């Protein structure tokens, strides 16, 4: 393998140690390498950076091992050209598996230009991404707590969920607090209903006739307190995200114009992919990185599984939620696409196809700086008009109708 870089380094990163291998090409054209071990404390990483600078290293490669690469990346960033590579893509030579051999193999691949770095956004976007991911986890915890509240109510034979659509709405929370306070009168608790729910007071009285014990009240109180805490944290994080996303405000506004996206989902998406689409060679590369593209598995002229590739689970979840909402947007292209595919390919495959189309649209909107324009619900009918008309005529004839077709007069 021909060397490309004069001096480079491969790092094998672990929780407590880092093995570094520097490969330098001497004036005589021969390769010299040296391996040293370092700790992962800040002073140790700074010593590693000083040694790399002394060895005139220009490029550094390391595997994306959990979160252990982050402190090293943060300190070396700006001083060296860093490539964070997928460990799955770096196949080690069989029979040479040690930490030292790992760093040597990385250095050799890097010097020969055989490594491709992963997408690492700038620091501002990384901080925004940390915030949005943490908020997503808090929302997941809130959903878990809500499910546990449902479970406790069922155990107490309180069928509030059978009458109220949302037991954690204003009316539902007032009723739950009354139960926690020790009120056992279904009539009094039912009177706490508000607005449209007041029309269901007789049903509420029957649903609130249960067997609530002190144990149920204790657990419900703890769950409600935890729910209030999570909602407070979600609001705090949302305010911080709004402040941190001001440099990306134009892109967020552009994304919210697409069906299925609102402010929160647009913030999550921009935090994952950023606004500079030049980082991705094409929309297909972005979709493949996200994991919403069909797999490519062919051997012997036969295509095998087309299962979607692995990608960013955070971005994929955001796109799936947006696709589900977009498939219900009336008079939209994405709704037509979903129903066109769901019948013959299944709902889940149709949903991923809509997510793929949404991401392709976002890529071009952000790259070109243009506003989103919907293609319309009749796009596919117009696209396949020559095949659709004979098909519809044939169906009408099979039903016993005589069909005569004449083109409409063009509007003046």
Within a domain: 411: no
- Measure the CA–CA gap between 105 and 85, rounded to whole angstroms: 13
Cα dihedral: 357, 286, 373, 338 (round 10): 10
- The pTM assigned to this predicted structure is 0.81
What is the per-residue pLDDT across 135-161, written as a single tens digit (0 to 9) for each? 999 999 999 999 999 999 999 999 988
**Contact (CB, 8 A) for 322 and 357:** no
Do 170 and 261 share a domain, yes or no? Answer: no
Domain boundary among 111, 143, 165: 111
325 in a structural domain: yes
Question: Looking at the structure, do residues 239 and 257 belong to the same domain, yes or no?
Answer: no
Do 232 and 258 fall into the same domain? no
What's the structural domain count of the chain? 3
59 φ/ψ angles, rounded to the nearest 5 degrees: -130, 140
What is d(CA 387, CA 210) in angstroms, rounded to the nearest whole number?
Answer: 61
Residues 181 and 76 in one domain: no
Contact of 255 with 266, CB cutoff 8 Å = yes
Between CA 164 and CA 285 the distance in angstroms is 46
Q: Quick check: is 63 in a domain?
A: yes
Q: Three-class SS of residue 17?
A: strand
Residues 323 and 221 in one domain: no
211: pLDDT strictly greater than 70: yes
Last residue within a domain, chosen from 81, 111, 141? 111
Residue 363, pLDDT above cutoff 70: yes
The pLDDT of residue 57 is 92
* Cβ contact 152:223 at 8 Å: yes
Give the CATH number, domain containing residue 92.
Answer: 3.30.420.10
φ/ψ of 8, rounded to 5, equals -145, 175
Give me the domain span that covers residue 331: 248-296+306-368
Helix axes 263-273, 313-326, angle to 10 degrees: 140
Residues 194 and 255 in one domain: no
Over residues 30-82, the pLDDT tens digits come to 888 899 999 999 999 999 999 999 999 999 999 887 888 999 999 999 899 99
pLDDT for 105 equals 85
Element (H, E) at 154: helix 123-155
Which range has the worst mean pLDDT, 78-82, 96-100, 344-348? 96-100
């Amino acid at each position: 393998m021909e060397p490309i870089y004069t001096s480079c380094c491969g790092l094998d990163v672990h929780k407590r140690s880092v093995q570094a291998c520097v490969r330098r090409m001497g004036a005589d054209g021969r390769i010299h390498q040296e391996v040293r071990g370092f700790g992962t404390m800040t002073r140790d990483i700074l010593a590693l950076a000083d040694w790399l600078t002394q060895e005139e290293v220009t490029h550094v490669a390391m595997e994306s091992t959990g979160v252990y690469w982050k402190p090293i990346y943060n300190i070396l960033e700006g001083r060296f050209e860093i490539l964070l590579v997928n460990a799955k893509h770096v196949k080690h030579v069989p029979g040479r598996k040690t930490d030292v051999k790992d760093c040597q193999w990385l250095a050799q691949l890097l010097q020969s230009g055989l490594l491709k770095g992963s997408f690492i956004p700038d620091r501002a976007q990384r901080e925004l991404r940390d915030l949005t991911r943490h908020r997503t986890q808090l929302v997941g915890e809130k959903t878990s707590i809500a499910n546990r509240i449902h479970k406790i109510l069922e155990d107490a034979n309180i069928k509030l969920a059978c009458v109220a659509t949302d037991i954690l709405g204003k009316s539902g929370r007032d009723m739950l607090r009354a139960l926690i306070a020790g009120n056992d009168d279904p009539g009094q608790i039912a009177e706490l209903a508000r607005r449209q729910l007041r029309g269901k007071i007789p049903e509420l009285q029957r649903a609130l006739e249960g067997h609530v014990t002190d144990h149920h009240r204790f657990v419900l109180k703890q769950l409600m307190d935890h729910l209030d805490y999570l909602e407070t944290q979600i609001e705090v994080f949302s305010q911080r995200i709004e402040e941190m996303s001001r440099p990306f405000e134009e892109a967020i506004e552009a994304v919210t114009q697409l069906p299925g996206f609102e402010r929160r989902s647009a913030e999550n998406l921009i935090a994952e992919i950023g606004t500079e689409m030049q980082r991705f060679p094409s929309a297909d590369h972005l979709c493949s990185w996200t994991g919403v593209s069909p797999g490519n598995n062919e051997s012997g002229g036969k295509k095998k599984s087309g299962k979607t590739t692995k990608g960013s689970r955070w971005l994929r979840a955001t796109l799936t939620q947006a696709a589900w909402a977009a498939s219900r947007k009336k008079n939209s292209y994405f709704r037509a696409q979903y129903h066109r595919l769901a019948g013959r390919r299944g709902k889940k495959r149709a949903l991923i196809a809509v997510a793929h189309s949404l991401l392709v649209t976002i890529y071009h909107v952000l790259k070109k700086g243009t506003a989103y324009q919907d293609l319309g619900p009749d796009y596919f009918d117009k696209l396949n008009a020559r095949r659709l008309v004979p098909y519809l005529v044939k169906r009408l004839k099979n039903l016993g109708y005589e069909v005569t077709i004449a083109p409409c007069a063009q509007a003046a």
